[in-house]
Amino acid sequence: SSASTPIRATLFPGDGIGPEIAESVKQIFQAAEVPIEWEEHYVGTEIDPRTQSFLTWESLESVRRNRVGLKGPMATPIGKGHRSLNLTLRKELNLYANVRPCYSLPGYKTRYDNVDLITIRENTEGEYSGLEHQVVRGVVESLKIITRQASLRVAEYAFHYAKAHGRERVSAIHKANIMQKTDGLFLKCCREVAEKYPEIKYEEVVIDNCCMMLVKNPALFDVLVMPNLYGDIISDLCAGLIGGLGLTPSCNIGEGGIALAEAVHGSAPDIAGKNLANPTALLLSSVTMLRHLDLHDKADRIQNAILNTIAEGKYRTADLGGSSKTTEFTKAIIDQL
Ligand code: NAD
């Protein structure tokens, strides 16, 4: 209740470069005096029968209890009899929306200068429902599930996000001219929600046209909301506009306001343990977590320190063409604070 009571948040350092970049987040949060107390959970080495996964029940309970967390990349061990770690998290915590802010980093030149987009991906159904079967030899079928409930929920989140962040427009991305029933229902739900937000402009853009417009001029868009598969593809396209995997954050929103922030990239086994990883993506993910908690002062301070460090150009990791180690880059950010 008082300002000095720390907020408990779950931290999954994850695999590969995960622990190195998580360490960077912990040090920067400490330097910025962020009132967060981390509850660290590691991926187990055995399958927990309660989750059918290497993720323990206790670690899921930690996120459920704290309602907020940060997740490093997780490499799902290959083998039978267990569920993918990311799928387990998504299903068990009902992480229904994946939010990816994507903006040009000042001083880091790419083909585009003024990217400032938010993609919001439906995270629980669509083509990723996992309902595939063989009808007869040589013919398979995959079910694309779209429900009114999940579509309304993600549309509601998109408009709420737009309003809360002073955004002007929400574009629903679809292929309803072909997928008349499924994408048609998705659009119908978006339209219903749009009516409740007259101050936010609403438009519908066919996905192929959306791709063309994005690479031609990303400034044509503001907030984009879309079904699962389109969101998977479009958000990677957007990441490519601003410089790649080392930079792009995301946040998963779950039932009851759970927020689990995570970098978009994987465990980068090729550079793991070498102090070479760029912690920016996980750091900016942690910033989205702070914004979710309305800790905007801390979020601004950390975000500015990261952006200033990259803009200055003296300390950059190898993926951005520099020669700094993870720890040197982290220290440079702390000095900026
Ligand atoms: P990856 O993202 O780990 O690596 C792709 C390339 O990008 C590599 O060359 C890597 O060195 C580089 N890279 C990634 N993040 C970087 C960073 N922060 N700084 C500098 N360079 C970076 O993708 P992959 O190799 O396909 O996957 C490796 C493992 O990660 C797999 O086990 C995969 O299942 C897992 N994975 C997990 C998640 C997740 O937890 N959300 C996402 C994607 C992949």
185 lines ligand 1 (CB under 6 A): no
71 lines ligand 1 (CB under 6 A): no
pLDDT of residue 1: 43
Q: Report helix, strand and coil shares of the chain as percent, to nearest 5.
A: 40, 20, 35
CA of 328 to the centre of ligand 1 (A): 21
Q: Which atom from ligand 1 is nearest to the alpha carbon of 74? A: 40
Return the best residue to mutate from 245, 276, 324 for the ligand 1 pocket (most ligand atoms within 8 A of CB).
Answer: 245
Assess whether pLDDT exceeds 70 at residue 3: no
- Of the chain, the end-to-end C-alpha distance in Å amounts to 27
pLDDT of residue 176: 97
Q: Which atom from ligand 1 is nearest to the alpha carbon of 21? A: 18
Per-residue pLDDT reduced to its tens digit, 97-132: 999 999 999 888 899 988 999 999 999 999 887 788
CA of 52 to the centre of ligand 1 (A): 24
245 lines ligand 1 (CB under 6 A): yes
Type of residue found at 24 = S
Which of 39-48, 185-194, 297-306, 318-327 is the least confident region? 39-48
Per-residue pLDDT reduced to its tens digit, 152-188: 999 999 999 999 999 999 999 999 999 999 999 999 9
278 lines ligand 1 (CB under 6 A): yes
Confidence band of 256 (pLDDT split at 50, 70, 90): confident
Confidence band of 4 (pLDDT split at 50, 70, 90): low
pLDDT of residue 84: 81
Percentage of the chain lying above the pLDDT 70 cut: 99
Examine the predicted complex and report whether its ipTM is higher than 0.90.
yes
281 lines ligand 1 (CB under 6 A): yes
90 lines ligand 1 (CB under 6 A): no
Average pLDDT, the chain: 94
Assess whether pLDDT exceeds 60 at residue 135: yes
Per-residue pLDDT reduced to its tens digit, 172-181: 999 999 999 9
211 lines ligand 1 (CB under 6 A): no
pLDDT of residue 273: 97
* Listed residue (288, 307, 304) closest to 104, CA to CA: 307
What is the rounded distance in angstroms from the CA atom of residue 2 to the CA atom of residue 4?
5
Assess whether pLDDT exceeds 50 at residue 220: yes
pLDDT of residue 333: 98
Dihedrals φ, ψ of 17, to 5°?
A: -75, -10
Assess whether pLDDT exceeds 60 at residue 2: no
Residue nearest to atom 6 of ligand 1 (CA): 268
Per-residue pLDDT reduced to its tens digit, 61-87: 999 999 999 999 998 777 777 778 888
CA of 269 to the centre of ligand 1 (A): 7
78 lines ligand 1 (CB under 6 A): no
Percentage of the chain lying above the pLDDT 90 cut: 82
pLDDT of residue 128: 82
What is the rounded distance in angstroms from the CA atom of residue 125 to the CA atom of residue 131?
10
Helix (H), strand (E) at residue 132: strand 132-136
Residue 263's beta-bridge partner residues? 249
DSSP 240-256: HHHT-TTT-EEEEEEGG
Rounded to a whole number of angstroms, the CA Rg of the chain reads 20
pLDDT of residue 242: 92
β-strands 132-136, 139-142 pairing: antiparallel
pLDDT of residue 45: 84
Over range 182-198, report the average pLDDT: 98
